[in-house]
Amino acid sequence: MLTPEQIEELNRFDRLIQDWAKKFGLDCYPQEFDIIDSEKMAELMTSGNLPTTFNHWSYGRDFEAIKTAWRLNRANLPMEVVYNANPSRGYICGTDPFVVMLLVMAHVYGHNDFFKNNFWLLQGRKDMLGFMADAARRFKRYEDTYGVEAVEKTLTAALALQWNIEPFRLERHDFQEQIEAKILETRAKAKKDQKTLDLKKLRTDLEKQIPFEPDRDIIGFLKDVSPTLEDWQRDILAVVRERAHYLFPNFRTKTMNEGWAVYWHENIMDELIKAKLISNADRDIYMDTQSKVLADWMVAQNPYWLGREIWKHIIKKHGLKKAFDVRANYRDIEFVEEFLEDELIRQLKLYIYERYEDHIDGQDVYVYEIADKNPKRVRERIVDSLKKIPDAPVIRVTRSNFNKEGELLLLHDFNEEQEELDPEHLAKTLEHVYHLWGKPVWLQTREINLRSSSGFASILYGYDGIRHNKLLI
């Protein structure tokens, strides 16, 4: 790790980097840095993307997988982790070369500016690190009181549903308020029609109609309405849901955010090089690291490279003022739709590839070939991929009194995605929802059926705590 002299030198460069960030027009939260080792960096990548969080078996599994891949040189650890908080918190790997740490600090200030000024990232709470530390302490008390197995089972179910939220909408429906409004409306109509009204029966009937419209926020619905959850379980669901709302905007702005950070760290590092504050040897290390940051990814689009290229295009064509406006108001989908223009797609040589299996020199290999160069279809393919991050199907709660037995009915929005649900994941998800609802759970979806005139078949999957059911409807 670093000596006191090296830490002081980092602090000196931090002040210089901050000065250049301000000169370039970046508007940042106060920034804090922690110097950590590579093992701690791997731990951060597997702790639910937050430095302080609750215990869960999946974190240990993922930590061992990442650590093993890194030690066998099959994967690289990130050079930094930074959190959207006020003050912002960044983690730097102290075993990296000194110049790489400078790159990382400059990169972090790009993220910091994006966190503070992008509308969508302003939706999350800025005290998330403290919030999660408090939650971790509560969850530990729950383990002591109710048992590790009981807490883990509820937490596993909650994590399985963490992305089944209403994106960018943290507030929940107030079902009691809706019920009271419907009662007032019904009473006024009954009075006008001179009819008597059984208010107790009306209230009971309305409670059985919840939700009054399909509810995409499954984890929020279960937290509010489940007839069987105890308070500590509702708290677990509330924390997992809050964390998901904090993380979700990061997924939907990743290309913009990473590209913005790369663009500004390049500019800041160029100034340090011009001022001869970085030696030629360190400059070579920086350039080598930069080439790795921007390198092609074999199976996906590199958001660092693509985002940086689009930002450069915006600044060249529309000016820096327009770039700051885009940074403040856009998400990845709109960013790509509007500014990844046909000309830029051709310039960057972006194509749609198809993969097929082949047998070459006695080995089975995957071969990639260009299938389509049409800029419009390339852009659409990239946008479609951005819509699926994080990868969770659109499913809504439609009825909480299905079969008039308090059973829960979910509806998969097949029309939006045109993709069948994975059978194994579907079955496990129904089991998790059953654990949180306490009564039979059903999910309606569609599957491809070429024998049908429509080409599809409507299927109802169910789980009652003992067996799984599949009905053609």
Q: Three-state SS across the chain?
A: CCCHHHHHHHHHHHHHHHHHHHHCCCCCCCEEEEEECHHHHHHHCCCCCCCCCCCCHHHHHHHHHHHHHHHCCCCCCCCEEEECCCCEEEEEECCCCHHHHHHHHHHHHHHHHHHHHCCHHHCCCCCHHHHHHHHHHHHHHHHHHHCHHHHHHHHHHHHHCCCCCCCCCCCCCCHHHHHHHHHHHHHHHHHHCCCCCCHHHHHHHHHCCCCCCCECCHHHHHHHHCCCCCHHHHHHHHHHHHHHHHHHHHHHCHHHHHHHHHHHHHHHHHHHHHCCCCCHHHHHHHHHHHHHHCCCCCCCCCHHHHHHHHHHHHHHHHCHHHHHHHHHHCCHHHHHHHHCCHHHHHHHCCCEEEEEEEEECCEEEEEEEEEECCHHHHHHHHHHHHHCCCCCCCEEEEEEEECCCCEEEEEECHHHHCCCCCHHHHHHHHHHHHHHHCCCEEEEEEEECCCCCCCEEEEEEEECCCCEEEEEC
- pLDDT for position 450: 58
- pLDDT for position 282: 97
Q: Is the distance from CB of 282 to CB of 317 less than 8 angstroms?
A: no
Confidence of residue 418 (pLDDT cuts 50, 70, 90): low
pLDDT in tens, 360-400: 888 888 888 899 999 999 999 999 999 888 878 999 999 99
- pLDDT for position 70: 56
Q: Is the distance from CB of 410 to CB of 441 less than 8 angstroms?
A: yes
pTM over 0.75: yes
- pLDDT for position 74: 44
Distance between CA atoms of 380 and 386, rounded to whole angstroms?
10
Confidence of residue 453 (pLDDT cuts 50, 70, 90): low
Element of type H or E holding 335: helix 332-339
- pLDDT for position 48: 60
Distance between CA atoms of 307 and 276, rounded to whole angstroms?
29
Confidence of residue 411 (pLDDT cuts 50, 70, 90): very high
Distance between CA atoms of 447 and 456, rounded to whole angstroms?
5
Average pLDDT over residues 172-185: 90
| Helix/strand/coil for 197 | coil
Average pLDDT over residues 130-144: 95
pLDDT in tens, 203-243: 988 989 999 999 999 999 999 999 999 999 999 999 999 99
Confidence of residue 63 (pLDDT cuts 50, 70, 90): low
Distance between CA atoms of 307 and 257, rounded to whole angstroms?
8
